[in-house]
């Protein structure tokens, strides 16, 4: 037997030596297959866990008052409990609520988690310019906890912290719950500036895994300031205006840095939206919007315009102006969105006018257009009080034992960004085509799949990228409550 094993081993070694060149050509394919198997295995385990967890979920139309062992997990969560010795009232409604005695103090505790996995494949030009861009990757994209406190039904206080990569405070503001004549609602603290439909729509409610290229580059995001917002014509119109200190991000400033002391200027931002067409409780609508932001900058501090390729699997930016020294920036944004039952369209145009001390005034621009369709008949939910889109609610929550599979949505987006201006600034031009598939198990759980085809031109790097292409495959499991 031993002799037979030696003969077989000797034969196999000879065959391998003879085919060494073939194996060499297959090594890249085998390596890719290994990466895809790792990603598939991880997603498989995650998906299996979801199936086990949700197997007992009921549909949204379930009987609200079952008895005995007919209680399901969602119905158990929604059960209201009075803690009479302490005068507390607890219940679940898109988050965990605790109401104090006589409703003088109310707490709502919510949170979200996003886990991403995928793989990036690039051509030789992008591989030379960005050596770490290609390959598989996984990322805990978000791990956030938020608390909304209401005091005497007069004041709201919100604290939202993200623990995913570094501890970063997102929302931290106090606001009046009661409207003031003309001025409407007032907020003060760290919050999003009133700019862009896609930016103001929560990251847990947008159609794709990441926001579009121009939104990533131009939207001011969160800053510290004072904002007024109101509605008119039975919420067919919204407006908001605020003044903010441009405080940048913890992720750039690092731990222990005082954001106020490191601020580089001030912004005055405003947004107005209208609904010329609104029927059937939002199943059919036309949204129009206009945003403007004027910023004054400290010329001694560097500013950089750049964006990831609509993926946070890697940290590389395919378009990047490098460091600029601006004295001002004016941003203009137009919005268009339409919902007609399960079909929707959405698009925005961005234009930036900047003043730069060394090379004069610069202009950059970008835009995107996206479409989506619900195969199961749902429609995008519109928040008329804020002029944004909110959480999707499936007609039937996932319950395989009852033949109910949640909501399914297909989507496509074309986005473009131009960070070139004459011969002085060459930040690059990028065009992305994104295809998406969303599976909503219920209003709180979603599984997302995105394919991104990124095309980059005129990107000044070392070496220069004249034309480069990247193919990005990514998936996300999302919990939001």
DSSP per-residue string spanning 358-390: TTEEEEEEEEEEEEEEETTS----EETTTTEE-
What is the Cα–Cα distance from 478 to 192, expressed in whole angstroms? 22
Model confidence at 129, pLDDT cuts 50, 70, 90, reads confident
The tokens of 373 are what?
A: 């369709």
Model confidence at 250, pLDDT cuts 50, 70, 90, reads very low
Question: If we measure between CA atoms, which residue out of 241, 242, 259 comes closest to residue 250?
Answer: 259
What is the Cα–Cα distance from 467 to 461, expressed in whole angstroms? 12
Handedness of CA 441, 446, 451, 454 (dihedral sign): positive
The tokens of 18 are what?
A: 């003879």
Q: At CA 341, angle to CA 336 and CA 343, rounded to 5? A: 55
Model confidence at 370, pLDDT cuts 50, 70, 90, reads very high
Q: Give me the CATH topology for the region 55-64+112-145+205-220+228-480.
A: Porin (2.40.160)
Percent residues over pLDDT 90 in the chain: 57
Handedness of CA 258, 262, 266, 271 (dihedral sign): negative
- 13 bridge partner residues: none
Of 187-196, 281-290, 392-401, 453-462, where does mean pLDDT reach its minimum?
A: 453-462
**Across residues 411-416, what is the average pLDDT?**
98
Model confidence at 265, pLDDT cuts 50, 70, 90, reads confident
Q: What does pTM read for this prediction?
A: 0.82
Exposed, middle or buried by CB within 10 Å (0-12, 13-18, 19+), for 107? middle
CA 277 to chain centre: 27
Of 399-403, 413-417, 472-476, where does mean pLDDT reach its minimum?
A: 399-403
Higher confidence at residue 39 or residue 174?
174
**Across residues 311-325, what is the average pLDDT?**
89
**Across residues 302-323, what is the average pLDDT?**
89
Model confidence at 414, pLDDT cuts 50, 70, 90, reads very high
């Amino acid at each position: 037997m031993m002799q037979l094993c030696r003969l077989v081993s000797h034969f196999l070694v000879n065959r391998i030596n003879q085919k060494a060149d073939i194996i060499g050509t297959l090594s890249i394919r085998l390596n890719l297959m290994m990466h895809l198997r790792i990603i598939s295995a991880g997603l498989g385990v995650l998906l299996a866990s979801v199936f086990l967890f949700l197997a007992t979920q009921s549909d949204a139309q379930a009987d609200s008052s079952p008895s005995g062992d007919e209680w399901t997990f969602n119905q158990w969560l929604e059960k209201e409990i009075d803690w009479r010795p302490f005068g507390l009232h607890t219940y679940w409604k898109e988050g965990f609520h605790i109401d104090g005695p006589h409703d003088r103090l109310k707490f709502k505790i919510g949170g979200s988690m996003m886990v991403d996995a995928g793989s990036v494949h690039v051509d030789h030009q992008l591989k030379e310019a960005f050596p770490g861009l290609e390959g598989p990757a996984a990322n805990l994209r978000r791990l956030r906890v938020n608390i909304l406190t209401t005091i005497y039904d007069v004041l709201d206080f919100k604290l939202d912290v993200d623990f995913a990569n570094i501890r970063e405070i997102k929302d931290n503001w106090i606001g009046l719950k009661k409207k003031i004549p003309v001025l409407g609602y007032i907020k003060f603290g760290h919050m999003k500036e009133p700019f862009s439909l896609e930016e103001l729509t929560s990251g847990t409610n947008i159609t794709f895994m990441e926001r579009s290229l121009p939104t990533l580059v131009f939207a001011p995001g969160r800053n510290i300031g004072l904002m007024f917002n109101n509605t008119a014509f039975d919420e067919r119109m919204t407006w908001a205006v605020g003044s903010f200190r441009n405080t940048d991000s913890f992720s750039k400033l690092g731990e222990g840095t005082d954001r106020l002391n490191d601020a580089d200027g001030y912004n005055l931002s405003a947004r107005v939206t209208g609904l010329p067409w609104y029927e059937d409780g939002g199943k059919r609508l036309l949204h129009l919007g206009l945003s403007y932001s004027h910023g004054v900058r400290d010329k001694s501090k560097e500013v950089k315009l750049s964006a990831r390729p609509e993926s946070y699997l890697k940290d590389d930016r395919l378009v990047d102006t490098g460091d600029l020294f601006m004295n001002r920036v004016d941003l203009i944004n137009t919005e268009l969105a339409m919902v007609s039952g399960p079909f929707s369209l959405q698009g925005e145009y961005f234009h930036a006018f900047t003043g730069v001390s060394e090379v004069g005034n610069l202009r950059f621009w970008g835009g995107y257009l996206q479409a989506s369709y619900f195969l199961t008949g749902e429609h995008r939910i519109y928040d008329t009080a804020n002029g944004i889109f909110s959480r999707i609610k499936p007609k039937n929550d996932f319950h395989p034992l009852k033949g109910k599979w949640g909501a399914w949505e297909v989507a496509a987006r074309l986005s473009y960004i131009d960070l070139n201006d004459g011969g002085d600034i060459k930040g690059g031009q990028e065009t992305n085509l994104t295809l998406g598939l969303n599976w909503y198990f219920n209003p709180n759980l979603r599984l997302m799949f995105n394919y991104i085809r990124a095309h980059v031109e005129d990107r000044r790097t070392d070496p220069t990228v004249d034309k480069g292409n990247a193919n990005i495959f990514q998936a996300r499991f999302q919990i939001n409550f």
